[in-house]
Structure 1
Amino acid sequence: MNARSLSTLALLLASTQTACVSQQKGREDSPSDEPGPPARLWRRSAVERDFERFTREGTALTGDGALVLDASARTDSVPVPTGRNEDGGTRYHEATYRLGSAVSEVQLVPGGFTSVVPSFDAQTPPGTWVKVTLAARIEGAWTKDYELGVWAFDKVPVARHSVDGQGDADGQVYTDTLNLKRRADALRMTVWLFSSQPEATPRVRALTAAVSDKQGVVADASSDRAAWGTVLEVPGHSQMLYPEGGPVWCSPTSTTMLLGYWGRKLGRPELTTTVPSSADRTFDWVYKGTGNWAFNTAYASAIGDGALHGAVLRLDGFAQVERLIAAGIPVSISIAYEEGELTGSPVRSSDGHLIVLKGFTPEGDVVCNDPAFKTDETVSVTYKRDELWRAWQHSRGAAYVLWPSGTAFPAEVIGLLR
């Protein structure tokens, strides 16, 4: 059997088994019979001039409200991880660099929370990078600042990566998610800006935290049916066309589809990209995969000179997705299911998989692009609403959204923490 035949056989075998299994973070805790507080969104952005209230050190605000390094930024030379060598060792950036920080005000969360997924809009010119940390208040005491990702659009001088080994008595970081062991009532986010170049600086436009409870919800919310019969024109891409990594590229493939949609809608051809390019720009050098949720939205909000905003959300049901579809915003959702649980799926089961939700039938079932189908032309599929909702709850409603830069996120979709 020749090499081409072997590659074809490998793809066929992968398509009958599970998609994205080697890069997933594992299923979230399944919802219990007792519902937790609703999922909410904390977001601070340059558009709203929110960074004016942050406590800043070595950072300043641009005229449009974004965070950048300023002349007072201190220098340091403590080596920072830059990625991995081929032998598995860690590479370090050992030259001097400038750094500054901005700390958010304390955000109270009525009803509390036990899980947080941060995301951010940041442009990182060559030689620069950013880091995001989160702390939560539990029974009157603050946890440590957990590191939720080091981000750079490029691979040098510091390659983007999550941070392992942070578990303690309060919580545990799982790649892009902080899960707490007890309920917290407040959160605080810090963003760190770094530059190895004297004139270059990152530019942070927004910080977001999807705040939810590990108990999740017990049923899909009722619908007003406003988006039933609406299907957005999202271009199709199959992850299975790329033997070099495609079977585990569901996340960057879904991100590529969202970018393609906005590229057409906004007349911005620079947003139309390829699946391998998206996979390259979302790869997490510690996680060793492309499924880091925050890195996918950070990448999407950075290309095209920041033409889009991006955020990771937790949503409680399809009624919220319907509001986004009605506003012309497609959504990528994270699902998992066993054999026989998702009628019409291209694989028998999945421990974790990303698809794009682009609309609803007149009866309320869900029209999607599922990148696990074998070709670009065959990714469009309709899933039964109740089956897909159950599959989605394995991630407790995790979703990616993108929307045009300079516009506010639709406030009616999800409870906003202010």
Structure 2
Amino acid sequence: MKRVATLLPADLGRVRLHRFAPGEHRESGRASYLDPFGHGERAWPYTRWTGDERLIGFPATELVCSWTGDAPAGGWLEVELRARTSAGALTGWYVMGRWAEGDTDVHRTSLPGQGDAGGDVAVDTFVAKAPVVAFQARVTLYGVGARVRSLAVMASAVPRRGSVPVSAPGAARGVELDVRPRSQHAHDGHHPQWDGGGGSWCSPVSLAMVLDFWGRGPDGDELAWVADGDPCPAVDHAARDIYDHSYQGTGNWPFNVAYAGRYGLDGFVTRLRSLAELERFVAAGIPVITSQSFKESELPGAGYSTSGHIMVVAGFTAAGDVIARDPAAPDDGSVRRVYPRAAFENVWLRSSSSGGIVYVVHPPEVPLPPSDGNW
């Protein structure tokens, strides 16, 4: 995890959910794609949807896509964005991800080296050279069986700030959701070809915990390849099928959401502006996956430092402190952690961290709490 950003005190972030509608442009054809990771070049039939231009509502400096859908063997998809600057110029198209459920046809990947006068893509985040006020999304479905159920685009503005004031405890004081704890270190040494092995799998472990909470995830046939005696085969499966071959990591934010979508969950990446906002999700029965970085001294009780880490917020104490499922714990029994509210909020929201990035995944029948615009 390498991205750093925080948000303006007004118009702090938006999720724009782009749904394919009959009035939007559609085309089809055939195109060749050279997989840079070993499958060679192949011609694919494709269908492409291009969405209408959407106004953001404020000058944004970053855009992050996320999607749910299917891309089984024989199909894959590509998500692209372009943006309009506040001066009226339209950027070119940027690839925000090439996604497939497995790696039998193409390798799942982000695309480095796209920088130009309009901006650049840092793994999963479009970073604008000049503020943008609108965007378009484009999705291309290749082969057979690929489809997209939802596409969300989160726009944010990113000023610099070194610290964040603590929010007052809110709706979830005294609430703890029953998220089963899992340690990434139970997978130390597993499959080093994916992000160096299980000791680095904070994101797939966090996602596996949340899928388990919702009673979703791969079945026995999907897990048959995992070695006997594995402490949680669903974690190995998630790491394999989230792995970004260009980034060489399992922390690509939209790839995590897309994996959850395979198992019937809705989901998106956004930025939250405070723990009080996050509490609305917990009060609604929805655990939230957060991204943060910190030195050991900045988060009492963590016992480690990190340049980027994913964990699950499962509840809050009566005093408003954070009850986390922190996969960096040495074993499952110590994954449940209570972190001081002020310290956690600061290391999650400040500009040397993720600026409040979260993954929200939930069954369609479980409603989201009311939103002020960023979900």
Matched, 1:39 2:10: no
The residue number in structure 1 matching 2:135 is: 187
Q: Supply the distance in 2 between the matched residues of 1:41 and 1:221 (Cα, whole angstroms).
A: 24
User: In structure 1, how many angstroms separate the alpha carbons of the residues matched to 2:126 and 2:346?
Assistant: 23
Corresponding residue for residue 33 of structure 2: 79
State the distance in 2 between where 1:369 and 1:274 align.
17
Q: 2:359 — aligned with what? A: 400
1:8 aligns with none
Q: How far apart in 2 are the matches of 1:38 and 1:220?
A: 15
In structure 2, the residue corresponding to 1:167 is in which secondary structure?
coil
TM norm structure 1: 0.79
User: Partner amino acid for 1:387?
Assistant: A
Q: Is the 8 A contact 1:36 1:214 kept in 2?
A: no
Letter aligned with residue 212 of structure 1: S
Match of residue 259, structure 2, among 289, 299, 318: 299
| Offset of residue 30 of structure 1 | 6.1
Give 1:51's aligned residue.
21
Which whole-Å deviations, capped at 9, do the CAs of 1:53-99 have from their partners, x for residues lacking one?
43222xxxxxxxxxxxxxxx3223x2332x524xxxxx4232x3110
How many pairs are equivalent? Answer: 352
Once residues 367 and 281 of structure 2 are traced to their aligned partners in structure 1, the CA distance between those partners, rounded to angstroms, is 13
TM-score by length of 2: 0.88
Matches within 5 A, 1:352-371: 352-371=308-327
1:212 counterpart = 2:152: no
1:232-280 alpha-carbon deviations (Å, 9 max, x no partner): 001111001112312211011111011010117xxx8849962111100
Query: Is the 8 Å Cα contact of residues 115 and 180 (structure 1) preserved in structure 2?
Result: yes
After TM superposition, give the deviation of residue 35 of structure 1 in Å: 3.9
The answer to whether residue 220 in structure 2 is matched with residue 289 in structure 1 is no
2:330 pairs with 1:337 = no
Task: Provide closer, same or farther for how the CA distance between residues 203 and 408 of structure 1 changes in structure 2, counting only shifts above 3 A.
Answer: farther
- 1:328 aligned to which of 281, 285, 303: 285
Q: 1:150 aligns to what?
A: 98
Residue 30 and residue 122 in structure 1: after superposition, are their counterparts in 2 closer, same or farther (change >3 A)?
closer
Q: Is the 8 A contact 1:256 1:278 kept in 2?
A: yes
How far the C-alpha of 1:323 sits from its partner, in A, is 0.8
Matched, 1:129 2:76: yes
- Using the alignment, how far apart are the partners of 2:212 and 2:256 within structure 1? 14
Identity within the alignment, %: 35
Map of 1:313 onto structure 2: 270
* CA–CA distance in structure 1, aligned partners of residues 270 and 138 of structure 2: 19
Q: 1:119 aligns to what?
A: 66
For each residue in 1:148-207, what CA deviation from the matched residue of structure 2 results, as whole angstroms up to 9, or x when unmatched?
A: 000000102111100010111221100001111211111111111000xxxx33121000
Shift of 1:219: 3.9
1:362 to 1:285, Cα distance in 2 relative to 1, 3 A? same
Task: Name the CA distance, whole Å, in 2 between partners of 1:326 and 1:53.
Answer: 38
Aligned 8 A contact 1:263 1:269 in 2 = no
CA distance in 2, matches of 1:407, 1:380: 24
In 2 relative to 1, CA 214–413 (structure 1 residues): closer, same or farther, beyond 3 Å?
A: same
- Sort the Cα spacing of 1:122 and 1:93 in 2 relative to 1 into closer, same or farther, 3 A: farther
| Paired residue type of 1:28 | V
Amino acid in structure 2 at the alignment position of 1:99: Y
**Counterparts of 2:262 and 2:22 in 1: how far apart (Å)?**
22
Three-state SS of the structure 1 residue aligned to 2:15 is strand
Alpha-carbon offset, residue 109 of structure 1: 1.4
| Alpha carbons of structure 1 residues 126 and 314: separation in structure 2 relative to 1, 3 Å | same
